[in-house]
Structure 1
Amino acid sequence: MLEALIIILTVTMLGITLAPLLPSNHWLCRVWEFPRVQIAFLTICVLASSLYITSPLLQIVLVMTNALVAIYQLAWIFPYTSLYPKQVPKAQATDSTQSIKILTSNVLMTNHSSEKLVDLISLHQPDVVITLETDDWWQNALVAIHSDYPYRVNRPLDNLYGMHLYSKFVLEDVKVMDLIEEGVPSMHCYLKMKDERRVKCHFLHPAPPSPTENDSAKPRDKELLLIAKEVANNTEPTIVTGDLNDVAWSPTTRAFRRISGLQDPRIGRGMFNTFHANYPVMRWPLDHIFHSQHFALASIQRLPSIDSDHFPLLSELVYLEN
């Protein structure tokens, strides 16, 4: 019985490891890019159990298979551990005229605990707040922060893709566009920092590959790579943030960083898993911030729950003088 169970689990772990390598964008294949930590952990447990197999040949096959699967999965997530060199330097000092603090929060449209988000905003005083899945109800609930955020962009929607931008900084050249799919907006603008420096910002929330959203990962991938190519042609200070519905270690996000040339402050620091807030054993980093080499990192932290399925993400970047 134990032997049969170990064989079944080994085949399963191998199958879901190979699935994302298939030439398909269907969610059934691409979804296995997300739980690499969980797959690695389960595979290591199966590997340990394989040591109790009495048949020497079968034991070798099972141990080797599980070892290769575990190593492969760990290789993807290794850059998002403290053992890996940090990609973004730590800011030596925080000059308020050269720093920008951004709070990104997917609120979950059906969640109405707006006071928890308002309290976090009041506590941390970010310069920029970007909310996702916000509809008319949330737009009205967040009137409470208007006095602190005079510059705002609203796109309330009741399809889980509403988006609101609140800023203490002047917003210029604001564009709200449905880049790939109708009803799935993104926001693009310049932020004018306290020292008058302009920073190009892209706020994104593409639809995920899932049985309830898109069967294919193609629209999400297309939007991310479209922004990557646009950023690659610019040399100005740039920030891209939002719920990208993709994990930090996926091939698409890797391609996004490679094409855009943007940096990920989580590399060498941790995963900062923001989803799923209600299931500790099933979490991965879906909310991201990327930036150009003009910035160093003052801080990055996952904030407490606001009763959404996502935790908010708070990041502070500091402009580096040449």
Structure 2
Amino acid sequence: MKQAFIILIRALAAIAVIGTVIPLFSSEEWYVRVFDFPRLQLFFLAVISLVLFYFFDYQHRKRGKLLLFTLVTVVVYQSINIYPYTILSPVQTEQTERDLSDTTHLSILVSNVLMTNTAYSHLIEMVNSYEPDVLLALESDSAWQEGLKEVTKAYPYRVEVPLPNTYGMHLYSKLPLRQKKVSYILDDEIPSIKTYMQLRSGAWIEFRGVHPKPPVPTEEEHSRKRDAEIIIVGREVADSKYPVVVAGDFNDVAWSPTTRLFQEVSQLLDPRVGRGFFSTYHAHYPMFRWPLDHIFHSNHFKLVEMKRLKGINSDHFPIFVTLSYEPDEKYEQVAPAPDEDTHEEAVETIQEGVEEAQKEGKQPDTLTTK
């Protein structure tokens, strides 16, 4: 019995160490990039295996000392990765001090609905309860478009892209929209939305809705196109003359190298930083949750509130954010600064994604990679 317990401790330690080391390799293969996701889980696994090893299996020999040191290193490394998304970290988006009824506020509800889910009433109830200015539904097909009619009639401005491939996208807005454009950046089956939205104050902002494919065997064998699409959007909004909001299911976690590069390139802020993980996937398995659904914004905005909402029978929880447009105070907030390698990494990431799309016979609808 004791020997079995020792084997279990060592197995847990091995998983924690291997799961930490694998994503350090600069490979885009799905079996490498998937380990970007469970940072929080690997942290707790390393802590548990460290404690168990120290009290039940540690021997003052070279091998024991090496494993102890390795586990401590894993705990420290994973702590560094997840620290920004704890309440111990300084916030990236400042809390607004303006009145809740301020006309500069913009509320957004993002929900990956799960195309096969037919419990439309759950999302309808949520929209009626929170009354967001903007509803972005992902994985929405024609059935979802019809199923939400009861509530979306209150949203006169819309971009509807119903698709049967789990990458449909519906944008509903109570605020005026102009220059509505649906782009298929690297894949003619994966849409993204670009539009301009007028706040109640009269100011116009740029809004982007995204949902690239994840690096999993059933979708993509590697992350090249996902990474490239995210960075392409980041480069485009970096050149915008307007305040910017980018929202959607990135199929990537907040602490991954790609999302960090996206922030450096786009100079957008993450209201999650310093406030919590707000893990939206997987809604049905508490032990396996990570933040895949995001709302990033330029420094023209401060935060009113951010919530992960209750489940709607989807594999994702919806996320709700209210921002306050305060351009006069934008210099109070600083986005992650690009370093000397940022441009080179961005160009390389985009080039690899474009080449992969071309190899698959796609016609990328994207900008130059210079």
TM-score, scaled relative to structure 2: 0.85
1:186 aligns with 2:189: no
Contact 2:10 2:49 in 1 (8 A): no
Match of 2:275 among 266, 269, 283: 269
In 1, distance between residues paired with 2:296 and 2:327?
Answer: 19
Contact 2:213 2:220 in 1 (8 A): yes
CA-to-aligned-CA distance 1:12-38 (integer Å, 9 cap, x gap): 322221111112101100000100110
Deviation at 1:234, TM superposition (A): 2.3
Q: Give runs of aligned pairs for residues 1-322 of structure 1, distance below 5 A.
A: 1=3, 2-51=5-54, 52-53=56-57, 55-57=59-61, 58-93=63-98, 94-322=100-328
Deviation at 1:235, TM superposition (A): 4.0
Contact 1:107 1:131 in 2 (8 A): yes
Which piece of structure 1 moves more, 89-98 or 151-160? 89-98
CA-to-aligned-CA distance 1:24-64 (integer Å, 9 cap, x gap): 10110000010011011011111111112253113322211
Q: How many residues align?
A: 322
Structure 1: gaps spanning 5 or more residues: none
In 1, distance between residues paired with 2:58 and 2:238?
Answer: 56
In 2, distance between residues paired with 1:202 and 1:69?
Answer: 36
Q: Percent identity?
A: 42
Contact 1:10 1:65 in 2 (8 A): no
Contact 2:299 2:327 in 1 (8 A): no
In 1, distance between residues paired with 2:102 and 2:209?
Answer: 23
Gap change, CA 1:50 and 1:174, over 3 Å in 2: same
In 2, distance between residues paired with 1:54 and 1:121?
Answer: 54
CA-to-aligned-CA distance 1:96-154 (integer Å, 9 cap, x gap): 32110000000000001100100100011000000000011101011112331011111
Contact 1:7 1:62 in 2 (8 A): no
- Partner of residue 367, structure 2: none
Match of 1:148, SS state, is coil
In 2, distance between residues paired with 1:10 and 1:280?
Answer: 21
Match of 1:121, SS state, is helix
Counterpart code for 2:57 = I
